[in-house]
Each structure stands twice: as structure tokens, then as C-alpha cells.
């Protein structure tokens, strides 16, 4: 595990979007914009269990997370690592992230679809 850099921690602490890249079963890449944050030196985000990124990470845990500074698109942290899919705390995490990014709770009227927490352990970090 490579420790998150101060810049990566800063970007993950703010409401900066992250782009997650996973590998589809046919070897092609799949990318998704997500809300993410740092927790205990790892990156966490929430996903519906039926989403391609969740299925891909269950099959192949290799992942790339690119966090871009919303104020300066040329400032970023690219984090490669491995992911694990966890069921515990997924609904609480999406609510936390909704507060962080939208300033309000996750909408109550939205039905709770089964969610997973994705936890990324950093292995390599490249920054600009």
C-alpha cells in the first residue's frame, strides 16, 4: 500500500469528482464519474450492486481513480490500486457523500437499491 499524498487527501476532502476506471469482462475499459472520499488512508465510494463497475471489481479488483481539482482541471491525483467490495455501511456512505457534494441528505424519496461500498487500497499515485 502506498500512502495517500497530501494532495490526494486534499482533493478527496473537497467535493471534487473522481473518475473510476475498471476492466469489463471482454477486456475493454469502463469509466464512471463518482463521489469519493478518503477514509483511513483508502478511497471509498458507493455504488449500486447492479452497476458495471461493481461487477467488474468483484471479478477483477484492479482499479484506477482519477481525482480532479474542480477549480483547476490540470491539478489531479491519479491513484492506481486494488478494490474490495463491501456490503456494510453502503447506505450511510452515500448519505455522507451526498452531504459532502450536494450539501443535503441522500433523497429519501429515492428508493434504496442494494448498494455496495467500494474500498480502494492505493498502490501507485501520480500527480500534477
CATH number at residue 29: 2.30.110.10
| Count of structural domains, the chain | 1
* Domain annotation covers residue 1: no
pTM: 0.94
* Domain annotation covers residue 67: yes
* Domain annotation covers residue 53: yes
pLDDT band at 112 (very low <50, low <70, confident <90, very high): low
Q: Which residues contact 102 (CB under 8 A, 6 or more apart)?
A: none
What's the average model confidence in pLDDT over 54-71? 98
- Of the CA atoms within 13 Å of residue 72, those in its CB half-sphere come to 6
What's the average model confidence in pLDDT over 53-78? 98
Output the pLDDT for position 113: 77
Q: Which residues contact 13 (CB under 8 A, 6 or more apart)?
A: 37, 38
Separation between Cα atoms, residue 39 and residue 19, nearest integer Å? 18
Domain extent at residue 59: 6-127
Amino acid at each position: 500500500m502506498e500512502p495517500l499524498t497530501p494532495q490526494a487527501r486534499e482533493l478527496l476532502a473537497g467535493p471534487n469528482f473522481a473518475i473510476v476506471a475498471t476492466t469489463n469482462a471482454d477486456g475493454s475499459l469502463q469509466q464512471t464519474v463518482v463521489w469519493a472520499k478518503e477514509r483511513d488512508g483508502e478511497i471509498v465510494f458507493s455504488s449500486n450492486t447492479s452497476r458495471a463497475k461493481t461487477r467488474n471489481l468483484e471479478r477483477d479488483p484492479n482499479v484506477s481513480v482519477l481525482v480532479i481539482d474542480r477549480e483547476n482541471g490540470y491539478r489531479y491525483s491519479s491513484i492506481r490500486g486494488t478494490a474490495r467490495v463491501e456490503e456494510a455501511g453502503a447506505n450511510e456512505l452515500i448519505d455522507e457523500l451526498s452531504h459532502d457534494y450536494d450539501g443535503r441528505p441522500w433523497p429519501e424519496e429515492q428508493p434504496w437499491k442494494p448498494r455496495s461500498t467500494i474500498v480502494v487500497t492505493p498502490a501507485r499515485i501520480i500527480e500534477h
